[in-house]
């Protein structure tokens, strides 16, 4: 069977399906982020504790993806992804009616477990089915679906929270996601290059640890951890600052701040294509510098400069994530789904740890403390990106995609 090439009807169907699947997953995952102030107020908890409604989901997601990738090797890519989308959508509706913060956290943990199926498997599906010359664009379009989902979930949450409360907001996201799941199931083509494997624990664990010995992969894993730690640190607490004086924005307006995610939709696709042409190392470093610049601009007191900084930061983040995640499939010599799952494990572990740790910085030092933490993570990421160059140059020196 031939690989799916850019410009064909099948290529378009794959991209639409995974765009919709990414929208579903990340609308549910990030749906509580803009309403953290409301959750904090209703349950009488601190901003750092309220962030557990997000961190608990991402840590459950991170751990579950290590298993979901291996399950997809047995049951198939499409089956695991479809189950993930449907189950998490139903749970999103049920979680909206949690009577206590503890039950809300429990529901969000279960959501993290079920959400793991799509992000753990989607990159492997693309790596197996898409022509390598078109993979950068396909991966970028998938990541752009993630960004639109994250943006849409946040905006919908903000609007519905102002109109009817945060519970109706979460339920609304669940209903929309369920409809998106049905579209995904109907239009995603079945795998053509997938070969089922038997689930054997010992070889699976051995293969898991072998990924840390492959040149370049450990550095990419750590980069994903730092990228996501920075991203969640900014978006978790920007809402707390914007609803307080001197800005005093409404929950709806804070939700619309997330429309800057559209720059992530553009940057993930465009920078992914540029990385195919000019090399992933170079474009990753440029992306990290853009992220660093954007974070620093959010320190300005002008609302418009602050929002511009958020947009620039978001551009750099999605570009960096698109490049790093696409690089995993090329660096891994075998069990690419497992390699992708490990990358995403570190990615969402960064979300859980960074998102809660930055809450301590916010409580102690305000917004300046959060930005200082982000700057530190970005500088470390840039240093590691240089290390990726050292460890992988010899292996890929003859590969056009790695120049």
The whole-number pLDDT of residue 199 equals: 65
The whole-number pLDDT of residue 393 equals: 45
Identify whether 400 is part of a domain.
Answer: no
Identify whether 145 is part of a domain.
Answer: yes
The whole-number pLDDT of residue 276 equals: 73
Identify whether 347 is part of a domain.
Answer: yes
The whole-number pLDDT of residue 397 equals: 34
Q: What is the pTM of this model?
A: 0.74
The whole-number pLDDT of residue 72 equals: 79
The whole-number pLDDT of residue 401 equals: 30
Number of domains in the chain: 1
Identify whether 398 is part of a domain.
Answer: no
Identify whether 293 is part of a domain.
Answer: yes
- Domain limits at 173? 9-188+197-392
Contact 154, 170 (CB under 8 A): no
Identify whether 402 is part of a domain.
Answer: no
CA distance 154 to 251: 10
Identify whether 399 is part of a domain.
Answer: no
The whole-number pLDDT of residue 181 equals: 93
Kindly give the confidence (pLDDT) of every residue in the chain, 403 residues in length, as a single tens digit, with 9 standing for 90 and above.
Answer: 677 777 788 888 988 898 888 888 888 988 888 888 889 888 988 888 888 888 899 889 888 887 887 787 778 888 889 999 999 999 999 999 999 999 999 999 999 999 988 887 887 788 788 877 777 778 777 877 777 777 777 788 888 888 888 899 999 999 999 999 999 999 998 877 777 667 666 666 776 667 777 777 888 999 999 999 999 999 888 988 888 888 888 877 877 777 887 787 778 778 877 887 777 888 899 999 999 999 999 999 999 999 999 999 999 998 998 888 878 877 776 667 678 778 888 988 898 898 888 988 998 899 999 999 999 999 999 999 887 754 554 444 333 232 3
CATH code, domain carrying 333:
1.20.1250.20
Identify whether 397 is part of a domain.
Answer: no
Exposure class string for 47-84: b at 16+ Cβ within 10 A, else e: bbbbbbbbbbbbbbbbbbbbebbbbbbeebbbbbbbbb
The whole-number pLDDT of residue 1 equals: 64
The whole-number pLDDT of residue 106 equals: 95
């Amino acid at each position: 069977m031939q690989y799916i090439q850019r410009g064909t009807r099948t290529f378009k169907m794959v991209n639409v399906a995974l765009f919709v699947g990414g929208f579903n997953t990340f609308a549910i995952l990030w749906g509580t982020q803009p309403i953290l102030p409301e959750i904090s107020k209703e349950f009488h908890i601190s901003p750092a504790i309220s962030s557990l409604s997000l961190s608990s989901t991402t840590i459950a997601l991170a751990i579950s993806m290590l298993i979901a990738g291996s399950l997809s090797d047995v049951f198939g890519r499409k089956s695991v992804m479809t189950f993930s989308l449907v189950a998490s959508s139903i749970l999103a509706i049920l979680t909206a009616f949690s009577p206590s913060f503890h039950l809300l956290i429990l529901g969000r943990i279960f959501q993290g477990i079920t959400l793991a199926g799509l992000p753990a498997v989607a990159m492997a599906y693309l790596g197996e089915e898409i022509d390598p010359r078109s993979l950068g664009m396909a991966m970028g379009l998938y990541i752009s679906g993630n960004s639109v989902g994250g943006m849409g979930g946040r905006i919908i949450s903000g609007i519905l929270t102002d109109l009817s409360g945060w519970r109706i907001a979460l339920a609304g996201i669940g209903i929309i996601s369920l409809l998106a799941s049905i579209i995904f199931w109907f239009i995603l083509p079945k795998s053509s290059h997938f070969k089922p494997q038997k689930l054997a624990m010992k070889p699976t664990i051995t293969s898991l640890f072998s990924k840390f010995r492959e040149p370049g992969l450990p550095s990419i894993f750590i980069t994903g951890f730092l990228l996501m730690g920075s991203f969640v640190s900014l978006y978790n607490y920007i809402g707390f600052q914007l609803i307080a004086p001197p800005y005093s924005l409404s929950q709806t307006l804070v939700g619309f701040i997330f429309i800057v995610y559209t720059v992530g939709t553009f940057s993930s696709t465009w920078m992914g294509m540029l990385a195919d042409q000019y090399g992933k190392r170079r474009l990753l470093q440029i992306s990290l510098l853009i992220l660093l610049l954007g974070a620093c601009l959010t320190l300005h007191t002008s609302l418009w400069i602050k929002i511009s900084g958020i947009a620039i930061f978001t551009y750099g983040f999605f570009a960096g994530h698109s490049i790093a995640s696409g690089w995993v499939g090329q660096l891994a010599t075998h069990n690419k789904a497992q390699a992708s799952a490990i990358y995403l494990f570190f990615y969402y572990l960064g979300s859980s740890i960074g998102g809660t740790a930055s809450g301590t910085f916010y409580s102690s030092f305000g917004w300046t403390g959060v930005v200082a933490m982000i700057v530190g993570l970005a500088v470390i990421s840039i240093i590691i990106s240089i290390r990726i160059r050292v460890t992988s140059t010899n292996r890929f020196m003859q590969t056009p995609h790695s120049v």
